[in-house]
Amino acid sequence: MNRKNLLSIAAFTVLGLIVGYAYFGKWGGDYVSLKTLLSFGGNRIHSAFRSISGIEEMRNNILICGAIGAVVGVLLTFKLKK
**62-71 mean pLDDT:** 96
Average pLDDT of 11-24? 96
Q: What global pTM score does this model have?
A: 0.82
pLDDT tier for residue 82 given thresholds of 50, 70 and 90: low
pLDDT of residue 80: 73
pLDDT above 80 for 74: yes
49 neighbors 74 (Cβ within 8 angstroms)? no
Number of structural domains found in the chain: 1
pLDDT given at position 27:
82
- The domain in which residue 45 lies consists of 3-81
Query: Does pLDDT of 21 surpass 90?
Result: yes
Characterize 19-58 residue by residue with b for buried, 16 or more Cβ atoms within 10 angstroms of its Cβ, and e for exposed: ebbeebbeeeeeebeeeebeeeeeeeeeeeebeeeebeeb
